[in-house]
Structure 1
Amino acid sequence: MNSNQIKCFLSVGKTVSFTKSAQDLYLSQSTISKNIQKLEAELGVKLLARTHQKVSLTDKGKVFFVKMLEINQEIDNLIKQIQTEDKKQKVKIYLGYTDVPFEEAYLPIVMRLVNQELNINLRMRLIDPNSSIKLDELIKNDSLDYLLFQKDYFSNNSAIVFKPLFKKSFSVLVSNTDPLFSKQTLDLNDLKNRHLLIWDAHNSLPTVRYLLHKIDASDLNCTCQKVSDIMALTDYVLTNKGIGIIPSILYDKNDKSVRYIPLNCDIPIVYGLAYRKELDKKSYSNSLYNVFNKAVKIAASKW
């Protein structure tokens, strides 16, 4: 059970609508549904009754909703009390993240370093890159101050600054029964005559378009299918419906069901920090970026 699951459940419990909750939380309906399903699986009870027309709380869901609402309010009150008692007035900054596996190790280190070294109250906000809201709009309309994502999404936006943290490329996902399973690296020629399941965001990324162009130009006799849900893509690979191609930042070291193999394709994918240009003038700007850089080095040694 985690805070994202609770947040999704409480929102649907209030709105009684996946559509309204998706708009309120800037997440896709599928992300909200999956979080609640994971919560139900951990609790071993059904919290929501779902039909094609509506969603409602079950009897146990109503009990859990009321209690969790009380607990959530107590936590909010405690946080406000602690912040009020802090003698120093901290700058509040909202950081968007997309919950890629690397961030599970990385973000706790960022939080620890920020608390140790900076007079900043860093607030985390989970963002779904496949929601209807464009990521750059969340930055420009002040919903977020900073966002961790890949550079090419913001390549044509002069109002947004991007500072790199590290560079990766693409990886290929294969099942343990696939002929490519034993290879340490792959070239484009290794993908000949295969059905390729290529991850891409709802708003297609330039790096993915460039990869598709290189595949077309290489005469590999491949079929390509874009998939925006990494969990669905992994399921397709496990059921031998194709091999996956994903940005290497989506590598999950805890997932032993598939093999991630680096793809030699000379397409860099830069992961880093995007923010509004005017934040460069803030006194904390360089110090905050240095903290993010330091956290990458610590997390990379463990990942």
Structure 2
Amino acid sequence: MQLKCLISLGQTHSITQTAAKLYIAQSTVSKNLKRLEDELGFPILTVRAHQTHLTPEGQYLWTHVQKLDAQFTAVIEHIYAQKASTPITVAHSIIPFERAFLPLFIQRFAAHHQRPVHLINFSPAAYADSLNLLLQQEATFLLMQEDFFRHDSRISFTPLLQARYSVIVPRQHPLATQPLITLEQLAHQHLWVWNSEPPVRSVVQVSQLIRDRVPSATLTPVVNIAECAMYAASGAGLGIVPSVAYDTGNPDVVYNFLDVPIPINYGVSYLRTTKKEAYFPAVIHDLTTAVKTKKDLWS
């Protein structure tokens, strides 16, 4: 504050105008300048004809301090400008629904904001790698179901869509015509169940429920959602995946809901500190709108 008072006074030559410019009391200006003189050990102010002027030493000091202040301001402005141009990076797992709504999200966000949006894909199978994308700030946001990060205290989550688990069924299979498949209908089936490592809590719950209720079913964990669909399409069994993995363009299989009381919150994860960023509300709003718009058309 002392240097701010000096810089302003060198421009205004007035304690009153300096106080008004800095939004502080005149007495505060005087105290700061007196304190600066005491610390420097030489006078920097003189009063002539009821006007405050800088002494020769004060003028010399003011000239150099003003230059340093201008340089400092330029550096800060550059840092803020560079930060504002840093892309917002959204990590996704390439499921068809994300391929449908992410282009709309980018369009909506770009219509009102200069900050660029970059997309990167990740494999949900590699939990530690997925977590590090956020912790190392390689991704700003990561699209996934809520229980994937096991309520890590460093991570926040905003739901975009309530989902459930689905069964991937070959189109020629008798269960293909059943929009809601019960556990009992999975008897004697080979089930390819998507999961990550360490396991996702809701997947563990679904798997345990199947084992308890349908002991004749065979469960095999699969780390890639697309592989669940490929196994089902080949006739090697049925897939169990989150319903957001539904692929409307797959001609070989259908996705029917599994009748279990285990909901999924699909949404976006991010570092808790990201909530403080100016762009955060707009990103969440545009993601929510894009998801809702495409969900209504997704069939």
TM, length-normalised to structure 2:
0.68
Matches within 5 A, 1:86-105: 90-105=85-100
Partner of 2:210: 215
Q: Determine what percentage of the aligned residue pairs are the same residue.
A: 26
Uncovered stretches (5+) of structure 1, i.e. residues with no partner: 1-85
Residue 226 of structure 2, aligned match among 208, 227, 231: 231
Partner of 1:201: 196
- The Cα RMSD (Å) is 2.0
Secondary structure of the corresponding residue to residue 174 of structure 1: strand
Partner of 1:169: 164
Secondary structure of the corresponding residue to residue 111 of structure 2: helix
Matches within 5 A, 1:103-252: 103-131=98-126, 133-252=128-247
Residue 286 of structure 1, aligned match among 255, 262, 281: 281
Distance in 1, matches of 2:208 and 2:95, equals 26
Secondary structure of the corresponding residue to residue 190 of structure 1: helix
| CA displacement at 1:132 relative to structure 2 | 7.4
| CA displacement at 1:276 relative to structure 2 | 0.6
Aligned AA (1:121):
P
1:49-87 deviation digits (Å, cap 9, x = unpaired): xxxxxxxxxxxxxxxxxxxxxxxxxxxxxxxxxxxxx9x
1:86-105 deviation digits (Å, cap 9, x = unpaired): 9xx54521111111110111
Structure 1 contact 191–220 (Cα < 8 Å) conserved: no
Secondary structure of the corresponding residue to residue 258 of structure 2: strand
Distance in 2, matches of 1:94 and 1:297, equals 21
1:274 pairs with 2:269 = yes
Uncovered stretches (5+) of structure 2, i.e. residues with no partner: 1-80
Distance in 2, matches of 1:275 and 1:231, equals 25
| CA displacement at 1:299 relative to structure 2 | 1.3
Structure 2 contact 163–244 (Cα < 8 Å) conserved: yes
| CA displacement at 1:194 relative to structure 2 | 1.6
| CA displacement at 1:259 relative to structure 2 | 1.4
Report which of the two structures shows the higher radius of gyration computed on alpha carbons. Answer: 2
Structure 2 contact 228–241 (Cα < 8 Å) conserved: no
Structure 1 contact 189–220 (Cα < 8 Å) conserved: no
| Count of equivalent residues | 217
Q: 1:215 to 1:132 in 2, by over 3 A?
A: closer
Secondary structure of the corresponding residue to residue 270 of structure 1: strand
Distance in 1, matches of 2:215 and 2:169, equals 18
Q: 1:91 to 1:235 in 2, by over 3 A?
A: closer
